[in-house]
Amino acid sequence: MMRLKIINRKNMTDEQGKIFDEAQENGWPVGGPFWAYIRIPELMRQSLKLRECLQEGPLSGRERQIINLVVARHWNAKYPWFAQVRGALIVGLEEKIIQSINQNLQPEFESLREKTVYELAKEMLENQSISDKSFNIAEECLGLNDLIAAVALIGQFGMTCCTANAFKILPPEENIIPLL
Q: Where are the beta strands (DSSP E) in the chain?
A: none
Tens digit of each residue's pLDDT, the chain (180 residues) = 899 999 999 999 999 999 999 999 999 989 899 999 999 999 999 999 999 999 999 999 999 999 999 999 999 999 999 999 999 999 999 999 999 999 999 999 999 999 999 999 999 999 999 999 999 999 999 999 999 999 999 999 999 999 999 999 999 888 888 999
Report the helix count and the strand count for the chain, using DSSP H and E: 9, 0
Q: Which domains does the chain have, with CATH numbers?
A: 9-55 (no CATH), 61-166 (1.20.1290.10)
pTM of the full structure:
0.95
Calpha distance 38→161 (Å, rounded): 16
Taking CA 116 as the corner, what is the angle to CA 110 and CA 118, rounded to the nearest 5 degrees? 90
Given a contact cutoff of 8 angstroms between Cβ atoms, the answer to whether 62 and 92 are in contact is yes
